């Protein structure tokens, strides 16, 4: 079950555990502004093939705009 | 959206998946750097203030009068037990009597905005219509706080 985390834990995972940020908003929104180092994988395009860019041994942190 | 993506990744076999609940908005509000081509729009969530007083349908006018800051622009949200916005009460809507339930004098179904609303166009609309405060909710209509036009104007002046 994916865990819900806050900003502090996100930063810890990025700093200490090679966390990978994944923005799931539409590509245009990603292009305009995204978190540093994040990759874009929109929900509609999320498949085994597109997710292959991620390292399975490292934490994956997905985000959108907010929790709404 | 991100919870569904997190679950999707788990079904694809990823074992260390986390959902950043606050998302891009919390990152921006914290003043952390971002990347991208821009434009970097200021959004409503960056200036949301907690609602200091919220009332229910049965709250009496005398209670509202004692809790709400006096002033023609003063506003409070009316919510149910689930924090869903049902209406709003302006100071000038208060009846003279102290024993009238809010349900009888509130404005039902007030305009609300989401945290991701772009601030520039929103402030423009608020200026045109003379609105000084608007309620901010999540996607389900739960109250998150209030947006005061003055705060938004200040942010836009600093970071258009």
Q: How far is B65 from chain A (nearest CA, A)?
A: 32
Q: Do A63 and B23 touch (CB under 8 A)?
A: yes
The reply to whether B13 and B80 lie within a common domain is no
Report how far residue A20's alpha carbon sits from residue B17's, in angstroms, rounded to the nearest whole number: 10
pLDDT digits (tens, 9 = 90+) for A15-59: 999 999 999 998 888 999 999 999 999 888 889 999 999 999 999
Q: How far is A14 from chain B (nearest CA, A)?
A: 12
The reply to whether B78 and B88 lie within a common domain is yes
Report how far residue A33's alpha carbon sits from residue B116's, in angstroms, rounded to the nearest whole number: 13
Give me the tens of pLDDT residue by residue for chain B, a chain 160 residues long.
Answer: 788 999 999 999 999 999 999 999 889 888 788 999 877 788 898 899 999 899 999 999 999 999 998 887 789 999 999 999 999 999 999 999 999 999 999 999 999 998 888 899 999 999 999 999 999 998 789 999 999 999 999 999 987 6
Q: How far is A9 from chain B (nearest CA, A)?
A: 9
Report how far residue B93's alpha carbon sits from residue B110's, in angstroms, rounded to the nearest whole number: 14
Angle CA B101–B132–B52, to nearest 5: 50
Among residues 93-112 of chain B, which lie with CB inside 8 Å of chain A?
Answer: none
The reply to whether B20 and B75 lie within a common domain is no
Alpha helices in B1-90, H assignment, sequence order: 2-11, 23-29, 61-67
Residue with tokens 């390292």, as numbered in its chain:
A55
Residue with tokens 């729009």, as numbered in its chain:
B41
* DSSP β-bridge partners for residue B79: B85
| A68 part of a folded domain | no
pLDDT digits (tens, 9 = 90+) for B19-54: 999 999 889 888 788 999 877 788 898 899 999 899
List phi, psi (to 5°) of B108: -75, 150
The number of CA neighbours under 13 Å toward the Cβ of B104 is 13
Query: How many domains, chain A?
Result: 1
> pTM of the entire structure?
0.72
The reply to whether B119 and B149 lie within a common domain is yes
Range of the domain at A34: 7-63
The reply to whether B71 and B130 lie within a common domain is yes
CATH number of the domain where residue A20 is located: 3.40.250.10
Range of the domain at B26: 1-39
B29 touching A (Cβ < 8 Å)? no
B30 touching A (Cβ < 8 Å)? yes
Report how far residue B160's alpha carbon sits from residue B156's, in angstroms, rounded to the nearest whole number: 4
Q: Do A63 and B15 touch (CB under 8 A)?
A: no
């Amino acid at each position: 079950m994916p865990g819900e985390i806050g900003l502090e834990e996100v930063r810890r995972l990025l700093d200490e555990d090679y966390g990978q940020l994944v923005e799931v908003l539409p590509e245009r929104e990603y292009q305009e502004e995204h978190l540093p180092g994040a990759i874009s994988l929109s929900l509609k395009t999320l498949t085994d093939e597109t997710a292959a860019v991620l390292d399975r041994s490292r934490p994956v942190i997905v985000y959108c705009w907010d929790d709404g | 959206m991100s919870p569904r993506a997190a679950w999707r990744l788990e079904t694809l076999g990823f074992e260390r998946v986390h959902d950043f609940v606050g998302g891009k908005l919390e990152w921006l509000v914290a003043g952390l750097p971002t990347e991208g081509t821009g434009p970097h729009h200021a959004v409503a969530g960056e200036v949301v203030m907690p609602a200091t007083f919220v009332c229910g349908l049965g709250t009496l006018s005398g209670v509202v009068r004692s809790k709400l800051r006096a002033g023609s622009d003063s506003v409070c949200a009316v919510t149910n037990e689930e924090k869903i916005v049902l209406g709003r009460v302006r100071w000038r809507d208060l009846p003279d009597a102290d024993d009238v339930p809010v349900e009888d004098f509130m404005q039902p179904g007030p305009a609300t905005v989401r945290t991701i609303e772009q601030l520039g166009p929103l402030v423009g609309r608020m200026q045109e219509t003379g609105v000084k405060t608007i309620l901010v909710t999540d996607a389900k209509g739960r109250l998150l706080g209030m947006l005061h036009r003055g705060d938004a104007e200040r942010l836009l002046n600093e970071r258009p």
